[in-house]
Structure 1
Amino acid sequence: MGGIGKTTLAQLIFNDNRVKEYFELKAWVMVSHEFDTFKTMKTIYESVASQKCDIEDPYKLQFKLKEALEGKRFLFILDDIWNESYDSWNVLKSSFNFGANGSKIIVTTRSRTVALKMGNFPIHDLHVITDEDSWQLFAKHAFNGVDSDAYPDLQKIGREIVTKCKGLPLAIKSLAGLLRSVFDLEEWRKILKSDIWELHLQENGSSEILPVLWLSYHYLPSQLKRCFAYCSIFPKGYNYEKRRLILLWMAEGLLQSKAGRPMEDVAEEYIRALISRSLIQRSSSNESTLVMHDLVHDLATFVSGEFCLKLDENSLYNLTSKTRHLASVGGFELMKHADLSKAEFLRTFLLLQSLALQGIFLPSNHLVVDELLARTGRCLKALSLPLSFITELPTSIGNLKYLRKRRWFQH
């Protein structure tokens, strides 16, 4: 089940001091929906070799990885695997054969089929937590170090709220963050009696939005709602730089200015508020990057509606005049086939690499860029085309009079 704590448990293992002492090499790979063996090998190699990998030949990379692992005891965690292909797993596993005895690989997945195909140890099924553990988790986050026994009325209502979370840690932490340091009895009653508990919302007609996550969103201040919805522009499992996100929020005017406070400080406050409600998380691999849980991403996509769009092969024809924020995860080739003129009021365009291509330079076509800017550029406030071979700037670049945030091209 999503949100039950698979990644959290893996993080506890990964960061345990005894584990650090026992294993010579460690690597964490967030796989999510794209299980690309080459990308996974590259991520592992960069972690264990502590250097950037520019190898593009899979066989050369496999050889280099074997060299790096030879005779060493390693721990690899492959987080959130969906791909059920045994052949893909076999190709990846062959690179690990030169590690020392005692090496371990931990896989987290929602699919029992994946677990059975990849594992040669018994599967460890995580179950929902008990009522008492649920309450302890909730109290720890909601009361912020204050003894909950000092508030018996809140404790009674809080236990009823926790029961509605059905032992799901993500849901419990999310609601606890919403009520953190709030000691108003009526506010707690409002959450308990909310009609939202009965809602059954569907994202894209498939993923069900958990009512408890919807509650956390519903009670956000309006400025935080906008910033949260904006994050849906990134793909599931995508680790985005905190600094970059702050600049995008600033460019789009999503931050509410406060007298005498730099906008960067306001953005940091927003991020802390979203983290406390478990609506975004710090990446386990890098403290300076952020990521959304898949279930939370479904919620962000649901609330952003047509305003935010990730342009991929499945959404090629979904551009509308309502689209304001667009991220292309398919490179310039995909943009050739999209009817960009539909997004005439576009304010954000980000060229993102797929999870399988991060760190690789993308071939580009300046004519495609020219078309993008000519058809959608008159309202653009944020433009990012990194890691792309662009040899000349189109003349339409001069028409971007509203542009506030830009990330220029590398070639």
Structure 2
Amino acid sequence: MNARSELVERFFRYAAIESQSDERVPTLPSTAGQHELAALLAAELRDLGLANVVVDRNAIVTAMKRGDRPGVPRIGFIAHLDTANVGLSPSVRPQIKRYVGEDLCLNRDKDIWFRANEHPEAEAWRDQDIIFSDGTSVLGADNKAAIAVIMTLLSHLSSSDAHGDICVAFVPDEEIGLRGAKALDLSRFPCDFAYTIDCCELGEVVIENFNAALGEIAFTGVSAHPMSAKGVLVNPLLMALDFVGQFDRSDTPECTEGTEGYFWFNDLLANDSEARLSVMIRDFDKAHFERRKQLIAEAAELSKQRYPSGRIEFKISDTYQNISDSLGDDRRSIELLLAALEELDIKPKLTPMRGGTDGAALSARGLTTPNFFTGAHNFHSRFEFLPIPAFEKSFQTALMICRLAVK
């Protein structure tokens, strides 16, 4: 089977397994489907003849393809098992459609259309075959396209391809805090450097991303009957809204771009007695990131002064950090990736990622892990799509990295 056909066949097979993560579940993995996908991949890795295939109780899969060139870098590739839960169906039904620059019907029964004027990014792929969902779910190219790339790479690295040792890892729950990458036993992933293949259109390379933290603020009010509420009642919902009101309305995801950071107040639960507020804190610059966390503390202190008979408590937990802060002087991984793109005549697009990847967690643990593209667009959306030519370029990039590493 040629690489293009195998990529597509594998993607369809992996996409058929429901593996949305669930942030409400504290176990690792958070959903049973990730166990199912992990077991399937482990079996396929064994069939491909890889060594040291392990799938643990946390659905973390690791293995190694032995190379024939000692003394060359040992390269790692890592992808995540979960897809994002954005309130759409967990069942993915991929389909291939040729895009000719006109509106595409993704689902006739539900009248779901991919509108050409709403998606100018598709114009670059006019007259090409593209993988879409049926519009009721995300496509799951984030990150099953990467899983298909890695598995096809392992399948196509034949005895005629000189290469060093290749380490692979598949981890759960990336979408809910990089949980799997943080739990990965690096002794089972003993590479000199690694690559995530996660999101991003053709040519995109990520060597910097947000520093990220989660803030959780609890407001305890004083409940009272309206007939005797004056001077007594402290409404925790209003306390929370007043807290949010202390922040710049333009300092939010929908008002920022590039390397601009933000606060994202994204969850609020309240009743007569208490309210709980969550905020995502993001910034590329480490000093600015720490200042943002300090602003949460200052807002809490001001709220205490405004509501002396109420109570405000907060907790801030770091989620991941900027890959660039961990690069140091060893830039072999980046140089090798850029050389592979040049060899394939792919223009690199160094993109500050307004999010995080497993590479952020691994880089913070001392394993340099930049990211490169799967070729897909519109992640976490019913209009996510994967141009097959870009998908194939992702595979070719991974293959070229392995080949150039031995030169």
TM category, shorter: under 0.3
Choose between structure 1 and 2 for higher RCO, CA contacts under 8 A separated by at least 6 residues.
2
Q: Which has the higher helix share?
A: 1
**TM-score of the pair, normalised by structure 2:** 0.21
**TM-score of the pair, normalised by structure 1:** 0.21
